[in-house]
Structure formats: C-alpha cells, structure tokens
Chain A
C-alpha cells in the first residue's frame, strides 16, 4: 500500500458512507426503520467503511388506531417471512391481524384472529374479550404499545451532516491523491531531465 492506494481507499470509504447516509435519509418517513450505522476502520487494506444496524429506539408516535403497534425494546414482528418493526397492522377480510399488503402477522402458534372487541396488551397477548387469541413472539422485557407507531430512527440533520462530511472527505482524499501524483510527476519527468 502506498499513498495513492491509501487515498483511493479513503475515496471508496467516503462513497460507502455517502450511500449509507442517503439510504438513511431516504427512509426518514419509513415507520419502524432502524438507521444503518457506518463505521470507518483502518485496516491493512486501507480505510474501510462497514455498515451495521443501529439498535436505537425510534420515537413513539400516537396514532389512536388500536391495531397500530409500537415495540418498546428489542425484537421484531414476523410478517409473512420478513421481520419488521413497522407495526401498522389492520384486520384482513377473514379477521386475522395482517399488514397492509395482506400478509398475516405470526403469533406463537400461527396467525392471530381478532374479534370486534380484541385488545392487544403491553405483554403482546391478544385477547378477544376474556379469551386469549394469540401472543406475539417477543423477547422478554419488550412491551407493545397499541395505538402508536415507532417513527423512523433517522435523524435528518445528523444524516445531512454525514452526507456533507463524506463529500468533503472524498474531496480531501482526491486532492491528496493528485498532490502525490504531481510529486511523482516531478520525480519522473523533471528531476531526471537533462538540459
């Protein structure tokens, strides 16, 4: 690895950081979205940006619709074969708890059928009157808030800063790269020139 390789890796890392920040920004209105965190590390291969899921809880927003569910604490809803924290659910035509695309929400032991008087408790237990209709598979300690949604975990200002920082970092690396190239230009073309 010489200086040029280092700077090229820095430009690639800045590119990845920009992609992460723009992906986060794009999802500033996606309920239940957890921001992707980008971390820079100095490795023998140069500067490398790697992504990981941020675990921070998004804000809880009251909606008043009883089938909107927000998770407080870790865990996810299982809808079809995807896991999500977006708890904007409805009742489907057969009375089952489902998302807006019609995929049923999995409880422990199958989909959950709701009666007109269904209540979803903070422990994730769904009761039709006094009868237990199902239970959401949640880690211990996680509670469910009915009538609320978890807003996107993205802070638009922070991500805009990340965008600008990535842009400047890329610029710095590019300038340095060009400076190294000019030095080599001198070494190769001027120092060795015979008058």
Chain B
C-alpha cells in the first residue's frame, strides 16, 4: 500500500512541475523544470516504491523572437546575463530589460544588469553581437559605453532557482566564468527575446501520462486496502 501511495505522491509532484512549466510557457527566458524519480529499495529485491530525486532546470535553447523592445537582448548559445538586486548577484537568460531612473537596465522583478549604465543623454542604444554597447547621444553617434559580458558555469544544472527566470550560483554549480560574447561562443541578439523552452504539446502529453500513472497507483492503494479487508473478514465467514 505504501509503495502505491509513494507512486501517487510522485505523480502529484510530476503534475505540479508540469503545471508550473505550462504556467510559464509565455515567460521570456524561462527554462522548463523536470522532476526525476528513483526506486527505493531496502536491501532485498522487493522495494518500497519510489522517491523524488529532485527537480532541475533544463537549459536547452529557446527560440529567439523579434520583440522590438528598445533594450531587449537575447543570448544565442549558452551562458547567462549577470544581474544584481540589492547587492545579491544572480543569473538569468531573460533579457527583457527596461531603463530605470538611475540609468540601469532592470527587468520586471527589479534585477539590474551588472556593470552597465545608460547615460542620461542616450537617445538610442545598440548592442552588437559581441556584446559591445553603443549609444547615440549628445556627444555624438556610436559612442561606446561598455560591453555586456556573460557568465557560464561548469554545472549549470546545479544553479538554484530564485523564482521565475533568475538563478543563483551554488557550490555544486561552481563559480561563474565570465566570458565575452562572440569569438565563436554565444552571441547577443539585440531587439530579440528568447522564448521559454517549454513545449506546450509535450507538456500536455506529460500531463496525460502522469494522470494515468496516478490513477493506476490509486488502484494499487485501493487493492491493498481491499485485500486487508478480505483478510479481516476471515473470521466472519
């Protein structure tokens, strides 16, 4: 009975993860999460059901799409934008930024791109594929104001989600390696956004499978209960 109940709990977790993916299918830079499960054995062959072995993001590339936003950037390739909020450093692939009063570029949750300030006189901003940022301002066109650098990790799967599309480094992920875009590595696509890598069709299929598996496990619980009732009825005839 407990094995079947652990199967129900596992499918419940699975469904929650898929539902969360679907809810974020339209969020730029969102990375789908997968839950994985392992069997639980106590010595002998006969096991004790299943247990979750954790949830982890899948960092496959999302499709790039023209957005037309004046500060929108997307990464074509691996790596993360380096952002900070209230002194906390974090990483994201969501490049939907807007200009704040202090000249920093912030996303909707207030995470600002590190090491980049847009001067007050800037009328338009351009980001090249190699991350170099230029502005047209009072001091003339094409003035260089800095370079967008990206962070990569030895083990990006071990990054800790801070909610939404933002991740923090952990001991297991290793420290950030700063890289310059271009040079055969990832490039920056300006005026584009990376769509989430959630496939709605695939998620719906996963929901159906998880639901059926949940029901099958519920049958197992019922049957175990029924067999205990049968055994209890032995003395009544």
Contact = CB atoms under 8 A, between A and B. Distances in A.
A126 interface: no
A30 B37 contact: yes
A23 B216 contact: no
B119 interface: no
A76 interface: no
A95 B3 contact: no
Nearest to B220: A22
B227 A164 contact: no
Given A88-B36, A95-B154, A21 B227 contact: no
A174 B234 contact: yes
A165 B224 CA distance: 12
Contact of A27 (B1, B37, B233): B37
Interface string B11-49: 100100000000000000000000011110000011111
A178 interface: yes
A14 B171 CA distance: 49
B10 interface: yes
A114 to B, nearest CB: 9
B226 A174 contact: no
A189 interface: no
B141 to A, nearest CB: 38
Contacts of B87: none
Interface of A: 11, 14-16, 18-23, 25-31, 33, 36, 51-53, 64-65, 84, 86, 88, 90-95, 100-102, 156-157, 159-160, 163-164, 166-167, 170-171, 174, 177-178, 181-182
Interface of B: 1, 3-4, 6-7, 10-11, 14, 36-39, 45-50, 53-54, 56, 58, 60, 153-155, 157-158, 171-174, 210, 212-213, 216-217, 219-221, 223-224, 226-227, 230-231, 233-234, 237
